[in-house]
């Protein structure tokens, strides 16, 4: 199996990079590349990236890149790095020092789910980089167009959104003369092939060809800015640089991304926990910001308190980071961060042990601490928590205090900006921890209130006339039983699900909030701890549409190996086998959040096909976000002399609307095997 695409020790599929111009020009899409293709383009968002609002770019640079995040199907790593403050950023750049850095698909999946666009990096460095640039820039246009065409093809095929161009070596006059033409051609072609695509230039080479960082946009590098979508400045700027740049940027101020090195290397305004000082100046002058290596909190402050340090870092920046809104339905999240100490499926524990799978990260809320005005001491704090989960590996923990003079406190979790269909169903899964008896409710706000018709919700009071509490769904429609079957019930693990129905016409759904109100008769301060396991907002019509079937299941790259024998096998018992193979199937990806892969190992060589499953419960193998999955070293029973064996694989689609598909509707494939006769 090709080493580029599979881990040499396990044969698990991995994300990869290209190390040379020759590799870039030779690359063509292959079936092996399919593991690395993102599930979907970036979700619709408001405001769009093309708006004139200053943006926030995060450039992820961590220990050379392609670490635990390279394992496409996840890994069993403890205390991995995780990023989950997606609502604050607009662009995610995956950076490494390999010539062509293709973002690991797990980052693209997580970012796109949050409406964030993803860029790879094309970098040249040192003497070798200079030679590479001469090879494609110093000649005629055919050479640089061939490179640009390949970069566009890679972004289009793997479904990420563009490139950061970083030339960290001097250029000859011929090469630097062609650089603007290369950028213009790359940008034009990318815009045609990748909707919303971006090409950004890093502040390094100047128009003379010298490698001379300017820490600003000026007359020495303006030609590159004029040839692409944006300019990423070096990090050693002061306020004077920002003042000068305002004249250079003109109407494109938001296309200038002022670099901030979070490690605070060199002569910088602020980094580390003083990064807010840099952001304050950048926003003061109306520019976008590029935060380089915010993984500093993980690399330098240790893994033990990582979540506390990460939350602290982003809370210090929050006032300078305008959020964006998701603007499409269905909206479903279990708050899973794509990692955990165990795996849970709808309250049922499936596996125990650490796991890390960033593609499985679901939409994350706004995090932080919110204090009530006045001296009453009321507050609400949201944080992610791995200690318990409803679906996945984590849940959202909400702590708070309701002061005596206040009836309720509420926290805004999501901003949606969704044009609402006529009938919407909402659901919330939660549980209270400790002795608190506060009442928990899901609330929403609407836009265009003056012209929209609202049914099934009630205004909370005159002061908050655009904030509503939806009425509970009393009698669920029979046709929606698969979605609302648990509504109002006490579920396993102490979870409760509440369902709501809302009728709207001509409205815009705005914020989703959760409120906590004191129990009747209470006059004292009320403290509470609430764990949210899931929130859903679903178009009722989409719930009635039939789900496609998993079809055309096949296997490839099959490998059998003897399993290590154990004393428990018994003397004379046949040794077990280890099966590795790639499972393929057909299914329209626009209908699913992911696939869950299961197996039913068995023996006996029974009939193949779609007969009933045996009494053994299917074992979860993992998650897939494309129509294939690599099974690695699955232990199966050996086939005894004169007998066959079989193992059955099941492909469970997980719909975007967030309901469980009955097992009878999963895709199934059985493998029958036997020992060769001697």
Task: Pick the more confident residue, 508 or 187.
Answer: 187
Quick one: which H or E segment has residue 594? strand 592-603
Provide the mean pLDDT of the chain: 90
Distance of CA 345 to the CA centre of its chain: 19
Q: In degrees rounded to 5, what are phi and psi of residue 576?
A: -70, 175
User: Is the confidence at residue 609, as pLDDT, over 50?
Assistant: no
Section 633-642 average pLDDT:
83
Question: Is residue 44 a contact partner of residue 115, using CB atoms and an 8 Å limit?
Answer: yes
Task: Say if residue 47 is preceded by a cis peptide, omega within 30 of 0.
Answer: yes
Q: How far apart are CA 127 and CA 134, in angstroms?
A: 11
Nearest to 161 by CA among 205, 126, 196: 196
How far is Cα 235 from Cα 24, in angstroms, rounded to an integer?
A: 30
pLDDT band at residue 418 using 50, 70 and 90 as cut-offs: confident
Q: What is the pLDDT of residue 612?
A: 43
Residues 292-312 as b or e (16 or more Cβ within 10 Å = b) = bbbbbbbeebeeeebbebbbe
Alpha helices for 238-384 (secondary structure H) = 239-249, 275-284, 296-299, 306-317
Other beta carbons within 10 angstroms of residue 239's beta carbon come to: 12
> Exposed e or buried b for every residue in 446-461, given b needs 16+ CB within 10 A?
bbeeeeeebebbeebe
Q: What is the pLDDT of residues 452-501, one digit of tens each?
A: 555 655 554 444 447 788 888 876 666 666 666 678 778 888 899 998 98
Strand partners, 650: 598, 668
Residue 602 CB partners (closer than 8 Å, separation 6+): 614, 616, 637, 645, 646, 647, 648
User: What single-letter DSSP state applies at residue 41?
Assistant: S
Taking only the tens place, the pLDDT of each residue in 479-489 is 666 666 678 77
Q: What pLDDT, on a 0 to 100 scale, did the predictor assign at position 462? A: 40
* H-run or E-run covering 135: helix 126-137
Q: Which residues of 557-594 are buried (b: 16+ CB within 10 A; e: fewer)?
A: eeeeeebeeeeeeeeeebebbebbbbbbbebebeebbb
The whole-angstrom separation of Cα 259 and Cα 623 is: 36
Q: What is the pLDDT of residue 522?
A: 81
DSSP 8-class letter at 662? P
Distance in angstroms (rounded) separating the CA atoms of residues 77 and 670: 31
Give 377-409 pLDDT, tens digit per residue. 789 999 999 999 999 999 999 999 999 888 899
196 class by beta-carbon count within 10 Å (0-12 exposed, 13-18 middle, 19+ buried) = middle
Q: Residue 158's pLDDT is what?
A: 98
At residue 659 the predicted structure's pLDDT band, cuts being 50, 70 and 90, is confident
pLDDT bucket at 447, cuts 50 / 70 / 90: confident
**Can you spell out the DSSP letters for 219-250?**
TTTHHHHTTSSEEE--S---HHHHHHHHHHHG
Q: What is the pLDDT of residues 220-231, one digit of tens each?
A: 999 999 999 999
Q: Are strands 117-125 and 91-94 parallel, antiparallel or unpaired?
A: parallel
- By three-state DSSP, how is residue 623 classified? strand
Q: How far apart are CA 586 and CA 588, in angstroms?
A: 7
Asked whether 669 and 629 are in contact (CB, 8 A), the reply is: no
Average pLDDT for residues 599-628, to the nearest whole number? Answer: 69
- Selection from 192, 177, 165 nearest residue 140 by Cα: 177
Return the DSSP state at 416: E
State residue 665's pLDDT score: 93
Task: Quick: pLDDT tens for 268-291.
Answer: 999 999 999 999 999 999 999 999
SS3 of residue 29 by DSSP: coil
Instruction: Report the alpha-carbon distance of residue 291 to residue 261 in Å, rounded.
Output: 6
C-alpha span between 228 and 184 (Å, rounded): 6
Which of 223, 135, 121, 136 shows the shortest CA–CA distance to 168? 121
Preceding omega of 191 cis (within 30 degrees of 0): no
Q: Which residues pair with 529 in a beta bridge?
A: 399, 433
Contact between 278 and 266 under an 8 Å Cβ cutoff? The reply is no
pLDDT exceeds 60 at position 355: yes
pLDDT above 50 (res 163): yes
Peptide bond into 256 cis (omega under 30): no
The pLDDT tens digits of the residues spanning 191-207 come to: 999 999 999 999 999 99
Per-residue pLDDT, averaged over 234-239, amounts to 98
Partners of residue 439 on adjacent β-strands: 517
Q: What is the pLDDT of residue 601?
A: 75
């Amino acid at each position: 199996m090709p080493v580029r695409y599979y881990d040499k020790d396990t044969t698990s599929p991995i994300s990869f990079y290209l190390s040379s111009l020759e590799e870039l020009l030779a690359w063509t899409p292959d079936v092996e590349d399919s593991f690395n293709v993102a599930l979907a383009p970036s979700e619709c968002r408001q405001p769009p990236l093309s708006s004139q609002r200053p943006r926030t770019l995060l450039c992820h640079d961590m220990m050379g890149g392609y670490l635990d995040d390279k394992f496409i199907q996840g890994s069993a790593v403890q205390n991995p790095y995780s990023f989950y403050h997606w609502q604050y950023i607009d662009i995610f750049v995956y950076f490494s020092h390999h010539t062509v850095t293709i973002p690991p698909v797990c980052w693209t999946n997580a970012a796109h789910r949050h409406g964030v666009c993803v860029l790879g990096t094309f970098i040249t460095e040192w003497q070798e980089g200079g030679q590479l640039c001469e090879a494609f820039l110093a000649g005629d246009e055919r050479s640089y167009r061939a490179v640009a065409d390949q970069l566009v093809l890679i972004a289009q095929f793997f479904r990420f959104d563009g490139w950061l161009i970083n030339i960290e070596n001097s250029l000859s006059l011929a090469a630097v003369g062609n650089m603007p033409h290369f950028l213009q051609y790359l940008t034009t072609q990318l815009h045609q092939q990748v909707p919303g695509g971006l090409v950004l230039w890093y502040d390094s080479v100047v128009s003379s060809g010298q490698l001379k960082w300017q820490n600003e946009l000026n007359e020495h590098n303006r030609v590159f800015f004029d040839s692409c979508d944006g300019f990423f400045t070096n990090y050693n700027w002061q306020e004077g640089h920002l003042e000068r740049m305002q004249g250079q940027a003109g109407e494109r101020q938001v296309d200038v991304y002022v670099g901030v090195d979070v490690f605070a290397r060199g002569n910088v305004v602020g980094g580390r926990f003083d990064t807010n000082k840099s952001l304050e100046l950048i926003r003061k002058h109306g520019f976008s910001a590029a935060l380089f290596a915010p993984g500093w909190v993980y690399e330098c402050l240790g893994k033990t308190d990582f979540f506390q340090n990460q939350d602290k870092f982003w809370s210090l920046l929050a006032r300078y980071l305008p959020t964006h809104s998701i603007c499409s339905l269905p909206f479903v999240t279990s708050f899973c961060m794509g990692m955990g100490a165990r795996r849970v499926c709808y309250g049922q524990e499936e596996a125990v042990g650490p796991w890390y799978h960033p593609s499985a990260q679901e939409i994350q809320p706004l995090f932080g601490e919110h204090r009530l005005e006045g001296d009453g001491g009321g507050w609400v704090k949201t944080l992610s928590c791995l200690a318990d989960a409803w679906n996945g590996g984590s849940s959202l923990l909400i702590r708070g205090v309701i002061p005596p003079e206040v009836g309720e406190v509420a926290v805004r979790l999501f901003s949606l900006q969704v044009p609402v269909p006529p009938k919407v169903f909402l659901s919330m899964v939660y549980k209270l921890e400790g002795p608190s008896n506060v009442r928990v409710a899901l609330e929403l706000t609407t836009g265009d209130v003056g012209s929209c018709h609202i049914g099934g919700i009630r205004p909370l009071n005159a002061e908050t006339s655009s904030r509503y509490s939806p009425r509970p769904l009393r009698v669920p429609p029979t046709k929606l039983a698969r979605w609302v079957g648990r509504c109002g019930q006490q579920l396993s693990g102490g979870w409760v699900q509440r369902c709501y129905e809302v009728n709207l016409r001509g409205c815009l759904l705005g914020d989703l909030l959760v409120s906590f109100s004191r129990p009747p008769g209470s006059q004292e301060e009320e403290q509470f701890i609430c764990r949210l396991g899931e929130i859903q907002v679903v178009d009722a019509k989409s719930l009635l549409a039939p789900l496609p079937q998993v079809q055309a299941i096949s296997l490839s790259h099959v490998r059998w190996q003897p399993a290590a024998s154990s004393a428990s096998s018994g003397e004379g018992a046949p040794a077990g086998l280890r099966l590795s193979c790639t499972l393929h199937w057909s299914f329209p990806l626009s209908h699913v959040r992911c696939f869950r892969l299961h197996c039913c190992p068995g023996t006996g060589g029974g009939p193949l096909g779609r007969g009933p499953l045996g009494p053994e419960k299917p074992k979860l193998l993992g998650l897939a976000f494309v129509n294939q999955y690599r099974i690695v070293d699955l232990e199966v029973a050996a086939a005894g002399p004169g007998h066959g064996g079989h193992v059955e694989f099941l492909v469970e689609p997980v719909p975007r609307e967030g309901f469980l598909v009955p097992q009878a509707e999963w895709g199934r494939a059985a493998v029958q095997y036997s020992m060769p006769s001697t």
